Chain A
Amino acid sequence: MWIFLARRLVQTLPVLLGVSVITFLLIYYLPADPARMYAGPSATVETVARIRHELGLDQPLWVQYTTYLARAARGDLGFSYRKQIAVTELILSRMPYTLALTLAGIFVELLIGLPVGIASAVARGKWADRVGMFIALIGISAPPFWLGLLLLYWFGFRLPILPLGGADEATSIVLPALTAGLGGAAWYARMMRSSTLDILSTDYVRTARAKGRSMFGVIVRHVLPNALNPIITMAGMDIPWFIGGVVLVERVFNWPGVGRMAVEAIETVDVPLILGTVIFTAVMVVVSGILIDVVQGLVDPRIRHSRQGQ
């Protein structure tokens, strides 16, 4: 197990390195004076000069990169002069909100997607199947910020049963999670439908059904365990999509996560914060990829063993 983990970590090192290179290049090739941009408003000429020296912008390219890399490895992603706070500190303070929303969103996706997918498979070919898939497709196609506004209108304003944004109350997460999850539920529904159909047509299941096992029992006993692997894979690929895509939902509901912060950073052209967020989230994506692999390996030993051969 540990060998597997170690192997995976080693495999991702070049990716992490590459991420740092790309982000660094973005910083370096900004079409503006980085020191001036970092310094932000009300900065005196002296401050700008000091920042330029601090950032080492007068050094050769490779020196700048290694300094940057060393700092990033230590967790120092720079300082946001506009907000007067270290980038890492700010991101870490907002990350729990985004993680909560990501998990809640995936939960909603599963909650809606899995039953719809299974039901469609069971009712295959009948109108319920087609309707289910159709609605799923509509879910994917609706812009999340639009969905969010509509939900906000109906459940926050017309029927004021849910809060109007922010994260002050326990129920504040309901609408954002619903918005984030509704769209993606369709993918899980489609996947579940396929998966269920596969299982349902195996000899084993056919025999079980012939012997009188209920559909429900079959689903619980055979469909779900087999679907676990693809579900985890999908969720794993979902996480990077969420970390990026949740920006829109956070904006609509004023959810104080990393996405909302990224939008603000862009409105205020807070370059260190924008780039710090980009690299931080990229690292999170890579890490979550490893985690998903580990979880998959734990759940399905076959994968673990086959992967070890790679």
Chain B
Amino acid sequence: MSKKVVLSLFIVITTALAACGGGPTPTAAPAATQATTGGGPEKGGEITVVYKDDLATLDPAIGYDWTNWPAIKLVFDGLLDYDSGTTIQPRIAAALPEVSADGLTYTFKLRQGVKFSNGRELTADDIVYTMTRVLDPTTGSPGAGFFVGIKGAQEFIDGSATAVEGIKAVDSSTVQFTLTSPDVTFLNKMALNFAFIVPKEEVEKAGENFGHAPVGTGPFILKEWVSGQHLVFDRNPNYFFEGRPFLDKVTIEVGVEPDVALLRLEKGEIQLMGDPPPGADWTRISADPAWTDRIEVEATVNTTYIAINTGMPPFDNVKVRQALNHAIDKQRIVQLLNGRATVANQILPPLMPGYDASYTGYDYNPDKAKSLLAEAGFPNGFETSIECISVDPQPKLCESFQQDLDKVGIKLTINTLAAPNVIDDAGNGKTPLVWSGGLAWTQDYPDPDDFYSPILGCDSNVPGGWNWSRYCNETVHDKSKELLSMTDREARMAAYKDLFKALMDDAVWVPVINGQYTVAHSEKLHGQPTLTHPEHLFSYETMWLSK
């Protein structure tokens, strides 16, 4: 038989074996469904992905936006990961952890032979170091809030302890976490980027520059970063996960406008667009048969909303916030998005458990908005501002809001900025209104708490946190803590309906749409089964190129 046939047989067999594996054996890969386009995944190939905005950082403790989230997964791994969907699988952990009967202690046994790209083998101390670092206030991690449920975390943050009691390296290959109260979402949190393991010596050596010189255990290694131009990632030949990744090289180019990116994709110069294809071309490409294999539409579990800063007058008045909810024409936004979205009337998206299909929310009623404003003491409206990212189509959506608010007497100034700036300002409560388009909020894990704690809970109402509404309602917060330990799923989901209704009554947001995530890619680039991933956004390690 020819070499080629032998090679393909080899690949098919090993992949099939890997698919059968999926258990706690150290070299098993999680169940991978085959791509539907001819044959199995092929090894090799290089791809170029383009974005408009520059990557801010590759530090897993810090990176939390559309651009760097999937890129961080190129270089790092965590104890846990997801399969192609939302099922949790062990990654650096050899198996799913043992959970104590009271639900408070999680014991992870680590895989053997996991190496950082600097050659050193990973040990349990690295896990302890990483998680402590995330909680450390001097790191400034936006993800710290996810882990305050660990015993001793709050004391460590406050400075009364020098280490986190609840994170312990039992031996060099076993690490144990102890929580203060049961949390059914703990495993999901450990699968987030924030829990991706970093090597202490490299972090200390690079200092603040670690985000630009990352060292991890991941399927790729950062080879080059020319600021403002591109990043090049090479395949990690020593990756502990058999068979992964398939691609040899991933180049991320930044500073490319979406409309130019689309044309370069058509010409075959690039293989993947990081930003959605521009609305201007949508009509054309959705009708073009050449594009059927080039578009992937994912109904993401997302709500895009206007976050209202409840700490900034006049938005500290609930009537004003409710008026805002009545003033926004959401149908218009759907139209401006070429129909690639659906109107949202509540905080949770339809695909999230806990969604209340019978809830009607605030209707589009400018007259009601005006009367509410008058009741609140603003019969002649007022002036305010909103921040919006500069990537198309967000600015034009903000202009639609501007017109809506003008109709009820509110003069809105639009501040268009780059994504990191908006995130920074919103996280520090510097702006009265923020449009989350292009930024937030898509599920980190399929649990309704993900739409409360990190973005509306009291723990995240800290400088740099993602609670852009600066909202803290103690009653709701205590209830949410209760729900985290509830094991009766049905009762839990029903309770969440009430919790989120309370938030909507308080009008902390204007939920506008549930967005679709549209990705344009070369027809030669495939995923397993999709390029996009509900948690990682892009699953680079399972992407492959056909010839």
| A residues lining the B interface (CB < 8 Å) | 40-44, 46-47, 82-85, 90, 93-94, 156-157, 160, 164-166, 254, 256, 260-261, 264, 267-269
Q: List 22 A-B contacts (CB under 8 A).
A: A41-B421, A42-B56, A42-B62, A42-B464, A43-B140, A44-B137, A46-B138, A83-B228, A156-B263, A165-B260, A166-B256, A166-B260, A254-B256, A254-B260, A256-B255, A260-B255, A264-B418, A267-B390, A267-B418, A268-B420, A268-B421, A269-B417
Asked whether, in the complex, the Cβ of A82 is within 8 Å of the Cβ of B256, the reply is: no
Query: A40, A166, A260 — which one has the most chain B CB atoms within 10 A of its CB?
Result: A166
Complex CA distance for A46 and B140, rounded to whole angstroms: 10
Asked whether, in the complex, the Cβ of B255 is within 8 Å of the Cβ of A164, the reply is: no
B contact residues around A43 at 8 Å (CB): 140
| B residues lining the A interface (CB < 8 Å) | 54, 56-57, 62, 137-140, 142, 208-209, 211-212, 226-229, 255-257, 260, 263-264, 267, 390, 417-418, 420-421, 423-424, 464
B contact residues around A90 at 8 Å (CB): 227-228
Asked whether, in the complex, the Cβ of A44 is within 8 Å of the Cβ of B255, the reply is: no
Within the complex, which residue of B56, B257, B267 is in contact with A41, where a contact is CB–CB below 8 Å? B56
Complex CA distance for A246 and B137, rounded to whole angstroms: 44
Asked whether, in the complex, the Cβ of B256 is within 8 Å of the Cβ of A269, the reply is: no
Within the complex, which residue of A84, A261, A267 is in contact with B417, where a contact is CB–CB below 8 Å? A267
Complex CA distance for A254 and B228, rounded to whole angstroms: 12
Asked whether, in the complex, the Cβ of B424 is within 8 Å of the Cβ of A84, the reply is: no
Complex CA distance for A84 and B209, rounded to whole angstroms: 7
A contact residues around B423 at 8 Å (CB): 41
Asked whether, in the complex, the Cβ of B424 is within 8 Å of the Cβ of A268, the reply is: no
Complex CA distance for A44 and B417, rounded to whole angstroms: 21
Asked whether, in the complex, the Cβ of B56 is within 8 Å of the Cβ of A261, the reply is: no
Within the complex, which residue of A44, A82, A256 is in contact with B229, where a contact is CB–CB below 8 Å? A256
Known: A164-B267, A268-B54, A268-B421. 14 other contacts (CB 8 A): A40-B424, A41-B424, A42-B56, A42-B57, A42-B420, A44-B137, A82-B56, A84-B211, A84-B212, A157-B263, A254-B260, A261-B228, A264-B54, A267-B390
Q: DSSP class of B's interface residues: helix, strand, loop or mixed?
A: loop
Complex CA distance for A42 and B143, rounded to whole angstroms: 12
A68 to chain B, nearest CB (A): 22
Complex CA distance for A254 and B261, rounded to whole angstroms: 11
B contact residues around A94 at 8 Å (CB): 228
With A254-B256, A260-B255 already in contact, the answer to whether A41 and B420 are too (CB < 8 A) is: yes
Asked whether, in the complex, the Cβ of A164 is within 8 Å of the Cβ of B260, the reply is: yes
Complex CA distance for A14 and B442, rounded to whole angstroms: 56
B429 to chain A, nearest CB (A): 14
B contact residues around A160 at 8 Å (CB): 267
Complex CA distance for A150 and B390, rounded to whole angstroms: 23
Complex CA distance for A44 and B140, rounded to whole angstroms: 6
Nearest neighbor of B141 in chain A, beta-carbon distance = A42
Asked whether, in the complex, the Cβ of A44 is within 8 Å of the Cβ of B263, the reply is: no
B contact residues around A254 at 8 Å (CB): 255-257, 260
Complex CA distance for A262 and B348, rounded to whole angstroms: 40
B contact residues around A83 at 8 Å (CB): 54, 227-228
Complex CA distance for A43 and B212, rounded to whole angstroms: 15
With A44-B139, A83-B54, A267-B390 already in contact, the answer to whether A164 and B418 are too (CB < 8 A) is: no
Complex CA distance for A303 and B255, rounded to whole angstroms: 46
Asked whether, in the complex, the Cβ of A264 is within 8 Å of the Cβ of B260, the reply is: no
In the A-B complex, the 6 residue pairs with the closest CB atoms:
A41-B424, A268-B418, A44-B140, A41-B420, A85-B227, A84-B212
Asked whether, in the complex, the Cβ of A164 is within 8 Å of the Cβ of B212, the reply is: no
Complex CA distance for A46 and B263, rounded to whole angstroms: 45
Query: B390, B424, B464 — which one has the most chain A CB atoms within 10 A of its CB?
Result: B424
Query: A43, A160, A256, A267 — which one has the most chain B CB atoms within 10 A of its CB?
Result: A267
Complex CA distance for A261 and B464, rounded to whole angstroms: 27
